[in-house]
Amino acid sequence: MVLKFLGKKTATPAVTFVVLMGIVSLFADMTHEGARSVYGSYLPLLGASATAIGFVSGFGELVGYSLRLFTGIIANKTKCYWGMTLLGYGVNVVAIPFLALVPENGWMLACILIVSERAGKAIRQPAKNTLLSFAATQVGVGKAFALQEFLDQLGAFLGPVLLFCVLWFKGGENTLESYALCFAVLGIPAVATMCWLFWAKQCFPTPELFEKTTGNEAVSKKSSFILYLVAISLFAFGFIDFPIVTMHAAKQNIFSVSSLPLLYAWAMIVDAFAALVFGALYDKIQFKALIVSGIISAFSAVFIFSISSFWGIAIGVTLWGIGMGAQESILKAAVVGLTSKENRSASFGFFESCFGVSWFMGSWFMGWLYDFNPHGLVICSVTAQLLALPLYARIHGEKTTTKPSAA
C-alpha cells in the first residue's frame, strides 16, 4: 500500500528510509501527543493555576518554534544532521516519562519538563526534515512529507487512545497516581522511538547521498524563498488555533464537553488523509496545490463562527483539517524546491520559526478578537489566508519561467 502511494514497485533504499523515519514519527507522536491530551487535567492536581497552564502552553510552543531558527542554522553550519536529530528526539521523548516522577505540588518541575519536550522538538526538527528531504528527492517531496504527516497523525491518535485505556483500567480516577502510570506507560513508545531512530541511522548513516547535486543548482531562489516566508506567515497568522474552535463549540452548547475530543479526533483524521491527497497533488502541480488547499481552508472560520450549528461547525472543522494536513506536508515539501541542498537546514529553520511565531501571534490576536467581535475574527482569518494565495501564484510563475533557462 505504501509502495503504491509512493508510485514504486519495489522498496528502494530511499523509500525504506522515508518509511523508517515515518515510523519514528509515529512513536514520537504517540509519546508527546498522548501526554498533551492530559496536561489540562494533570497540572491542576499539582497546584498549577489556569494562568500558569495557559502561559506554559503558549511559551512552550513559542520556544518550540522560535528556537528552530537557531538549530536550523547550527545544523546547516555543522552538517551534523544525525547528531541533532538524535539529541532532539532524546530530549523530546525522555522528558515525558520523567513526568511520572514529579512529586506532589511539583507543578513548576512539570512545567520545565513540558517546555523541555518542546525544546527537544525544536532541536531535531530542521535537521530531521533535511534528512528526509534528501530521500524525498528520489521518492517525490510531496508524497514523502505527506506520508510523514499521515504517520504523525496516526501516532497523535493512538497516544490519547492508549492513555484512555490506562485511565479506564484505573477506573477513571483523576489522581496523581493515575497520571503517573500514564506517563510511565508512554515510556514504551518513547523507547520504541529511539530504537527505530538508531536503526535508521545504522542502516543509512549518510542520507545526503540520496540527493544528487547537479551543476544547474546555481539558479538563485532567494527572492522566491523570502516571498514564500511572507506567504506562509500570512497563512499561519490567519489559521485558527483549535482550542478557540472547541471553546466556541462548548460556549454555544452545540457540542457537549465530553464530545469535544471527538471533534478534534475528526480533525486529525481529515488532516491525515488530506496530507496524502495534497502530497500526491503537489508532486504533479507544485504550488497550485497550495493555492487549492489555501482556498479550501480559508473559509473554515466562516462555517465555524458564522454558522453556529452542528453542521456548520462540522463542515468548518473538516476544512480546518484539510488546511492542517496541507500545512504539515506540502508547505514543508515546498521548502525543498526553493532552497539548495547545502542551505536546506537553515531554510527549514527560518520556515519553521516564521510559521510558528506567526501562528502564535495570530492565535493570541484571534482570541482577543473573539472576546470583542467574533465577526472580526472571521474577517481577519479569511483575509490573512487569502492574501497568501497571490504570493503562491507568483512563486509558481517564477519557478515555471526559471525551469527552461536552468535546463
Closest-CA residue to 89 (of 134, 62, 130, 122): 122
Round the average pLDDT of the chain to a whole number and report it.
84
pLDDT at 113 over 80: yes
Q: Give the CA radius of gyration of the chain.
A: 21
Alpha helix (H) residue ranges in 95-140: 107-139
Q: With a cut of 80, say whether residue 168 has pLDDT above it.
A: yes
pLDDT band at 219 (very low <50, low <70, confident <90, very high): very low
Whether the per-residue pLDDT at 4 is higher than 70: the answer is no
> pLDDT > 90: what percent of the chain?
29
CA geometry: angle 21, 140, 147, nearest 5 deg: 40
> What is the distance between the terminal CA atoms of the chain, rounded to a whole angstrom?
35
Is 395:231 a contact under the CB 8 Å cutoff? Answer: yes
- Residue 214, pLDDT > 70, answer no
Q: What is the mean pLDDT of residues 264-287?
A: 85
| Comma-separated ranges of CATH 1.20.1250.20 domains in the chain | 10-211, 219-400
Q: Which fold has domain 219-400?
A: Growth Hormone; Chain: A; (1.20.1250)
CA distance 69 to 66: 6
Whole-angstrom distance, CA of residue 341 vs CA of residue 129? 12
The SS3 of residue 3 is helix
| 62 close to 90: Cβ distance less than 8 angstroms | no
| Average pLDDT rounded to a whole number, residues 385-400 | 85
Please tell me the pTM assigned to this model: 0.82
Unique residue bearing C-alpha cell 551543476: 215
Q: What phi and psi values does residue 373 have, to the nearest 5 degrees?
A: -160, 95
Check whether 220 has a pLDDT greater than 90: no
- CATH (one of 1.20.1250.20, 2.40.50.140, 1.10.150.120, 1.10.10.10) for 10-211: 1.20.1250.20
- Residue 114 identity: I
